Chain A
Amino acid sequence: AQKVTQAQTEISVVEKEDVTLDCVYETRDTTYYLFWYKQPPSGELVFLIRRNSFDEQNEISGRYSWNFQKSTSSFNFTITASQVVDSAVYFCALSEAKEYGNKLVFGAGTILRVKS
């Protein structure tokens, strides 16, 4: 069965600090996808990134970067030079590639508070 663990319930940082959100996953499949979503105070779920299990290259998008390591089953997310607008709940999620649909399972989420 698939499972996603986000051990950090809440993180508080001061603006301009770097912060890393941890994500550890479990799956028996060799083909799967990993995601990060942001949920700002307004409540919508905003897609940030998707990686497939065959692509272990790290990704950088502006101040955001992701580190995917299959050896440790981790997909960590780093925000560089955090800003107040980054305050949100961040969810890591896992989808196994199945013949009938792709079930997306979320971690519990990490609340990020960035203080000015």
Chain B
Amino acid sequence: DAGVIQSPRHEVTEMGQEVTLRCKPISGHNSLFWYRQTMMRGLELLIYFNNNVPIDDSGMPEDRFSAKMPNASFSTLKIQPSEPRDSAVYFCASFAGAGYTFGSGTRLTVV
């Protein structure tokens, strides 16, 4: 198993541009989570899905952020328009009974 796959690994974009982060969970895992890590706020849960359905999006900071999970093998986190304060590492994780597996993260820099 290749684990949780996130792309891209690094993204540099200009303020105001749309950014899309992608995640492929481990096959058979029925829950998927998006986290954001910053120095100031640590690891924050943004949103999580169970069986492709969004369960809790209370951590999504603003309407500029949206997430989708169209099927069990793919999820996206979109920021439109992006702002410099969105610069962070974004982690995706999937969950099955044994525990959580995290992807390698996407380091987003908005200039």
Interface, chain A (partner B; CB < 8 A)? 35, 37, 43-45, 47, 50, 91, 95, 100-109
Contacts and interface: CB of A to CB of B under 8 A. Distances in A.
Size category of the binding interface on chain B: 20 to 34
Contact of B102 (A45, A50, A103, A109): A45
B31 A101 contact: yes
Contact of B50 (A47, A100, A104, A109): A100
B104 A104 contact: no
Nearest to B33: A104
Interface of B: 31, 33, 35, 42-43, 45, 48-50, 53, 55-56, 89, 91, 93, 95, 99-102, 104-105, 107
A108 B99 CA distance: 20
A44 B105 contact: yes
Contacts of B50: 100-101
Contacts of A45: 91, 93, 102, 105
12 contacts: A43-B89, A44-B102, A45-B102, A45-B105, A47-B100, A95-B100, A101-B50, A102-B31, A103-B48, A104-B100, A105-B45, A108-B42
